[in-house]
Every structure is written in structure tokens, then in C-alpha cells.
Amino acid sequence: MPISLPADVSKIIDTLMSHGHDAYIVGGCVRDSIRGVLPKDWDITTSALPAQVLKIFPRTFETGIKHGTITVLINRQGYEVTTYRIDGEYLDNRRPDNVVFTTDIEEDLSRRDFTINAIAYNPASGYVDPHGGRGDIIKKIIRCVGNPIDRFGEDALRMLRAIRFAGQLGFIVDKPALDAIVKKQNTLANISVERIKAELTKLLASPHVEAVSLLVTTGLLPYTIVGHTYGGDIEEVITQLKECPPNEPLRLALFLGWSGKSCPEILRSLRFDNKTIREVSLYVSLLADKIPLDRYEIKKYLRQMLQASFENLLLLQSIINPQEKERLAAVCKEARDIQAKNECYTLGDLSVKGEDLIAAGFPPGKAIGDKLEELLDMVMREPGLNGALQGMISN
């Protein structure tokens, strides 16, 4: 089955070949094309050395020249072009100590992680598939190139990537790979938390999120929340994740719903940004609340968060407690009505300010804040009073 290449990608390949070099698309773009999915990125591999690529193309960036990667710019779009290479020893379970360039495409493909990613394609010569990756795509199997122990020993993150691919593609990780993950699980501790976080969030957002169960069966789950013990019922969590849209904060809240006050610490350990930490921790802290169908009580929640966040909280609660869906839908309707009628529930919406109280004779200081809170509480209970506050404090 031929692959239709974008014009810019064809131009790069044709240009390299016209200068006497081999060139192919490789990796995920080949895998996705075979699956009938439009690739997000197009990676190119070539027999040309980095210096030759730099000389051939007028606009380039030295993205990772040590490992043979040059970014070629065409029509303001960057394409990674990497020289065929053989990796040296992996001394830290993360990256090769050195690389050696080669002119043999099959040697380059043999260093890759999984057979489904070890396929190259060129419109002129067709597929190069020495490890049976096309067959594994058809069979929906994730299988390592060569010995799984060796592949995972080279880069421990590949263990988490195997599970993430299972979630994204709906494929099965073959038994030799799963057995190897169990044996090498502790080496994931050598991987940076940033790389672990990236794989975990992709897995949680995947369409086949049931693959999260593999984190338990392989022993990787403790390493995905570095330094913490997972305290949830993972099968119950997976059921909930399947009902949740692939929104990162929402799925993280379900994944960490058990964590309570530990939630911010776990998210900080994984190097999440402050905005995500605040949002997810807020959801987790309120998941067990029974929000009454009462406008005053709803306003107290709306005071803590944006309307969209409140609706997200209600969605999460309805996923965790399906029997509450009807009541929570009514709560949501009330919250939207509060917004539509611009009812006051924050100090900013209050018709009087601190200076108004001072002008009316109230002494400056803490008493002003206390009085504003008192007035706000009164208005939250009786919305119609907001417009009358000026007259009330004057009298």
C-alpha cells in the first residue's frame, strides 16, 4: 500500500536522493499512515551525514546534531532529518553514550523500540520492514525490536511508552515485552519525572484508557507517581476515566481522586505547572462534597471557582456517583441561572465597597472586611438587596 506524502516531505526526500543519498520517512508517520491515520509529524531518515544535510538545504537548525538530527525548514514548517545511526551503550537507562553513523537503513531500524515504529518508506523503493512491523500493526501487537530486556535496558522509558501506545492505539503489548517490564520495572526510577509525566498524561488522555491497568500488572504504577504509593482502586478509576472526556485536569483528578491533601505534593513531584496543580487539587478536595440544590450554597462554591470549573466538578461527581446525575444536572442548571441573572456572590460584585463604608462612618481596619463579608452573605441569600445596600449603610 503506497503512502501519500506531503509535497514538502517529498521535496526533502527527492532533494537528498538527487544528491546521491538514500532517504525515507520513518517511525510514527509510517505507522499511522499504514493505520489510515493522518500523521501529525513527518520524520525523515537518511544516509547523508549531518554536515551534508546542512550543506544541501539552505534553511536548517542543528536540532540534535550530536545524534544526527537536523531540522530542515520548508515553507515555514520544520522537518527532522536524521542520519542513519547505531547507538552506543546506554549507561544510564536513558540515552546512548555515543552514536555511530551508518549507511545501512536496516542497522538504523534495528536500534528502535518497537517493530511498529521500525518501518521506513520511500515512494521509489517502497517499505523497509526487517522486523515485521506491518504485520504487527495488522495484528495490533506492540512487540519490541529484538530482545525486550535489551530494549528496556537501553531506555527504561520505553516500558511506559509500550503501555502508552497500547492506550493510544488500542494494541496489545505482547507477553515477552510485559515480562521484561516486570523484570526491569525498577529502572524507571532512573528516568526524569518530566519524561514520566509526559507519558502518563498521554496515557490518561488515550482513547483506550483501560491500558492504565498495565501499570499495575507490570509494577510500574508506583514509579509513575514518583515517591508516593497509589491509594485508589485502579479498576474503579479506569471505569470512571472511560466516562470522562480526555481533558487533562479532569482525568488527573479522577486518577488522583483518592489522594486528598497529598494531591498537590504528587503533582509537584511530577513537575506539573501551578495552574494545573491548583485546578486538579481543587477538584480532588471537593469530589466527596454533596453540593445541595440550594442557590445560596451553590454561590458559595461559585465564589471559589469559575463557572466552567464548577461544571467540571459536577461532571466529575456525576461520573463517580452515577446515581446523582439527575440531581447534579439540576444543580448545574441553578448555577447557570445564577450566572444568567448576574446574581452577586463575590465582593467584586457587591454594590458597596470599603470606601463606601468608611464614608458612611465605619472605622477603617478589619471591621470593614468583616462588614463587607456580612453584607455579601446577606446579598447571596437575598439577591434583590444588592441594589439597596447604599441606602442601608447610609441610614
Determine which of 198-202, 345-349, 389-393 has the lowest per-residue pLDDT on average. 389-393
- What is the tally of structural domains in the chain? 4
Give tens-digit pLDDT for 229-257.
999 999 999 999 999 999 999 999 999 99
**pLDDT of 70:** 95
Same domain, 76 and 174: no
**pLDDT of 281:** 97
pLDDT at 330 over 60: yes
Same domain, 45 and 157: no
Phi, psi of 243 (to 5 degrees): -90, -5
Same domain, 126 and 201: no
Same domain, 392 and 297: no
The grid coordinates of residue 123 equal 515512494
Residue 60 binned pLDDT confidence (cut-offs 50, 70, 90): very high
Tell me the residue range of the domain where 389 lies. Answer: 344-395
Same domain, 126 and 154: no
Give tens-digit pLDDT for 139-163.
999 999 999 999 999 999 999 999 9
CATH number, domain containing residue 37: 3.30.460.10
- CA dihedral 98→100→101→105, nearest 10 degrees, is -100
Query: Would 248 be classed as within a structural domain?
Result: no
Determine which of 224-233, 256-265, 301-310, 360-369 has the lowest per-residue pLDDT on average. 360-369
Determine which of 24-38, 192-206, 234-248, 340-354 has the lowest per-residue pLDDT on average. 340-354
Query: Would 30 be classed as within a structural domain?
Result: yes
Same domain, 289 and 225: no
More confident residue, 239 or 89: 239
**pLDDT of 91:** 54
Same domain, 350 and 330: no
Same domain, 109 and 145: no
More confident residue, 361 or 39: 39
pLDDT at 376 over 60: yes
Query: Would 395 be classed as within a structural domain?
Result: yes
pLDDT at 390 over 90: no
Pairing type for strands 120-122 and 23-26 reads antiparallel
Query: Would 280 be classed as within a structural domain?
Result: yes
Determine which of 199-203, 240-244, 390-394 has the lowest per-residue pLDDT on average. 390-394
**pLDDT of 112:** 93
Residue 39 binned pLDDT confidence (cut-offs 50, 70, 90): very high
Query: Would 252 be classed as within a structural domain?
Result: no
Query: Would 251 be classed as within a structural domain?
Result: no
Region of 170 on the Ramachandran plot (φ > 0 left; ψ -120 to 50 alpha; else beta): left
**pLDDT of 93:** 53
pLDDT at 394 over 90: no
Query: Would 247 be classed as within a structural domain?
Result: no
Determine which of 43-47, 84-88, 171-175, 264-268 has the lowest per-residue pLDDT on average. 84-88
Q: pLDDT averaged over the chain?
A: 93
Same domain, 96 and 145: no
Q: What is the pTM assigned to this prediction? A: 0.89
pLDDT at 193 over 60: yes
Same domain, 123 and 199: no
Same domain, 178 and 228: yes
**pLDDT of 363:** 84
CATH number, domain containing residue 175: 1.10.110.30
Same domain, 322 and 348: no
Nearest CA to 313 among 264, 376, 247, 266?
Answer: 247
Residue 391 binned pLDDT confidence (cut-offs 50, 70, 90): confident
**pLDDT of 185:** 96
Give tens-digit pLDDT for 161-185.
999 999 999 999 999 999 999 999 9
Residue 371 binned pLDDT confidence (cut-offs 50, 70, 90): confident
Query: Would 201 be classed as within a structural domain?
Result: yes
Segment 269-283 mean pLDDT = 97
